[in-house]
Amino acid sequence: MKKIKIGQIGIGHNHGEGKMLAVQKFPELFEVIGYAEENEKWVEKRGNLPCYKDLPRLSVEEIIEKSDAILVECDVWNLTKVAKMCVEAGKHVHIDKPASGTLAEFEELLNIAKEKNLTVQMGYMYRYNFAIQKLMDMINSGELGEIYQIDAEMSTYHSKEYREWLKKFKGGSMYIFGSHLIDLVVSILGKPEKVYPFIKQTGFEGVYSDDNNFAVLEYDKAIARITNLSVEVNGWGMRRFAVMGSKGTVEIKPIELNVEMTKSTTDIASNAYQDMKEKVDIKDVPTLSRYDEMMKDFYKSVIGEKVNPYSYEHELAVQKTLCRVVGEN
């Protein structure tokens, strides 16, 4: 089996550790050459984590030169800039989410990658969630009929420090967390015709970041509702993705870690005034294993074993929709 040489640029992104742990689980697929981090703050804070402490710390230029593929896990605001450097050098990239910079800059990155036939995998982890994948199979097979509504929530009870950090981004928690849900909605319904965002600030503990957000995405026949709140006490338990179609409804809640998936179809819903649903048997995945399937898929795409299931056009559509939701150009 062919190995690919992989390095990581940046350890500042909150998902970076998980991605590195994932590739290290598959030494038959990946030869990890090291990591680069120019910010000493992150080296001091995370450089001694088990996944990094025994790796060579290289320069950004060395990572780009020595790698076949690169994990881009730097601070969010640098993701697109760093990834563009990588694809310009002919390297496949996994880019954590959401894409940063302007929409035009991200589109330029995708165009370069497409011209060079390079894999660009965005770090939207729910794509590889087993419950979400089962839901996508049900939608694609027609089991749920025509899709009319999607109701999604991704909330958390964030620290004061984290909510201060959210001030760096227009749309705050919608930009950071709502992007996961926007990715799924666009996968199912495509780009919305209209977007109605509601971006609010709770002011909790004297912090005024965009931490209380809601958006409605309008389609010809369908509506999608996306919610996130950074002071939701039971945020993890409230994380939810529900799809309602002409033949059935599926709800996943919570989306991961003790995930529960239920379905209601016209076959079992004999009474419109009862809660008629049944559990769907689904594999649960520990949080630190949430990236395993994603990294294996990245490998297959890089070596040409399979076509990346998420096209350049899809990634651009997700980012365009996200920008509309948070009011960013």
Beta bridge partners of 80: none
Residue 316 domain-assigned?
Answer: no
* 3 state SS of 192: coil
pLDDT (tens digit, 9 = 90+) per residue, 215-239? 999 999 999 999 999 999 999 999 9
Of the candidates 12, 177, 152, 173, the one whose C-alpha atom is nearest the C-alpha of residue 78 is 12
Q: Give percent above pLDDT 70 in the chain.
A: 97
Please indicate, yes or no, whether residues 180 and 272 belong to a single structural domain of this protein. yes
- CATH at 207: 3.30.360.10
The amino acid occupying position 209 is S
Please indicate, yes or no, whether residues 134 and 280 belong to a single structural domain of this protein. yes
Please indicate, yes or no, whether residues 15 and 147 belong to a single structural domain of this protein. no
Please indicate, yes or no, whether residues 42 and 28 belong to a single structural domain of this protein. yes
Please indicate, yes or no, whether residues 134 and 260 belong to a single structural domain of this protein. yes
State both tokens at 212: 């209380």
* 3 state SS of 117: coil
Residues 198/140, Cβ–Cβ less than 8 Å: no
pLDDT (tens digit, 9 = 90+) per residue, 231-272? 999 999 999 999 999 999 999 999 988 899 999 988 765 667
Segment 295-307 shows an average pLDDT of 97
For the chain, how long is the longest CA-to-CA vector?
A: 64
Please indicate, yes or no, whether residues 54 and 195 belong to a single structural domain of this protein. no
Q: If you count them, how many residues does the chain have?
A: 329
Q: pLDDT averaged over the chain? A: 95
Please indicate, yes or no, whether residues 253 and 139 belong to a single structural domain of this protein. yes
Please indicate, yes or no, whether residues 167 and 68 belong to a single structural domain of this protein. no
Residues 130/285, Cβ–Cβ less than 8 Å: yes
Please indicate, yes or no, whether residues 110 and 18 belong to a single structural domain of this protein. yes
Residue 199 domain-assigned?
Answer: yes
Segment 151-175 shows an average pLDDT of 97
Residue 323 domain-assigned?
Answer: no
Residue 319 domain-assigned?
Answer: no
Residue 211 domain-assigned?
Answer: yes
pLDDT (tens digit, 9 = 90+) per residue, 81-117? 999 999 999 999 999 999 999 999 999 999 999 999 9
Structural domain range at position 141: 130-284
Please indicate, yes or no, whether residues 277 and 140 belong to a single structural domain of this protein. yes
Q: Where are the alpha helices (DSSP H) in the chain?
A: 16-24, 40-46, 60-66, 79-88, 103-116, 130-141, 160-165, 173, 179-189, 235-238, 292-303, 312-326
Can you tell me the distance from the alpha carbon of 71 to that of 148, in angstroms, rounded to the nearest whole number? 37
